[in-house]
Chains A and B, each alone.
Chain A
Amino acid sequence: MIRRLLPLFVLCVIAFAGAQTEPVAPAVRFEPVDVIVDAGNVPLGAYQFELAVEKGEAVIVGLEGGEHAAFKEPPFYDPAALAQSRIVVAAFSTDKVLPAGATRVARLHMQVTGSADYAVKLVVATDAKGEAVKAAIRTEKPKLETK
């Protein structure tokens, strides 16, 4: 009796296992990541940072400038960093009016599979004369307004 039912049992197990392992594609979405530099009261003349995907799966698909007019233009970056998970970004401004305090210097557009966390490291921040200054850096995921 058991010998007769064994093939049927095996078939059931295979069918069940097949149903369970059917790949479910994780959701792919796009998210912006803002990078904020805060040099306190010192007007920001230049900055350079490195951002990397720390956890999860994400690639860089685009980049735009900051919120202040002095850093509105897209910053410098290596085009080879697009479609990668690591990028070095830098910009400077010789404008008379420079941002002070916390200011968004760049916005990166990421293609994320599932979810991702980012690590950002400030390479250098300078004042208007190019002298290195102490500054803090952080990332934020902005909530984009939907119309």
Chain B
Amino acid sequence: MAENHEQFDLPASLKGDLRRAYAAGPVPAEMDALILRPRRRLWPRGLIAAAVAAVALIGGGVYFGTMHRPVAVAYQRTGDIRDAFYLARTLERQQHVEAGWDQNADGRVDRDDVRQLAQLAVKLPAEVVR
């Protein structure tokens, strides 16, 4: 083996030339840091666009949904047929009715109170009735 090494050994002058031509200095610390830092995760652009669109849609939907959501407002009596209609619809849907709708003061709010409200709406003023 030693013979082989000697056989393939380069001439000393060539070795010196090669050493000069490929002389490498010390690696800068910045280069080391750049190589060794964890690789940044790059999101595909399509995924980012989809995420933005989803946020906009959901957010917008929630916003506009809130805007148009009916707000429970206490009914303001009008003195016309709307009062009877409101009470009839409320009773039909079996929703809570306040005691103030008990027109005939019989202790319960029912169809009789609806009729009474309707009759009140169409009542002629006393001065009209001869």
Q: Smallest distance from the beta carbon of A75 to chain B beta carbons, Å?
A: 8
Whether, in the assembled complex, B37 has its beta carbon less than 8 Å from a beta carbon of chain A, the answer is no
Q: Smallest distance from the beta carbon of A108 to chain B beta carbons, Å?
A: 13
CB pair B123 A92 closer than 8 Å: no
The CA of A141 and the CA of B119, in the complex, are separated in Å by 27
Report B77-92 CB contacts with A as 1/0, cut-off 8 Å.
0101110111011001
- Interface SS, A side: strand
A126-B124 contact given A78-B119, A92-B88, CB 8 Å threshold: no
Of the candidates B92, B118, B130, the one whose C-beta lies within 8 Å of that of A90 is B118
CB pair B81 A132 closer than 8 Å: no
Q: Mark B residues whose CB is within 8 Å of A.
A: 78, 80-82, 84-86, 88-89, 92, 115, 118-119, 121-124, 128-130
Q: Mark A residues whose CB is within 8 Å of B.
A: 45-48, 76-78, 80-81, 84, 86-92, 94, 123-124, 126, 129-130, 132
Closest to B126 in A: A80
CB pair B124 A80 closer than 8 Å: yes
CB pair B82 A78 closer than 8 Å: no
CB pair A46 B122 closer than 8 Å: no
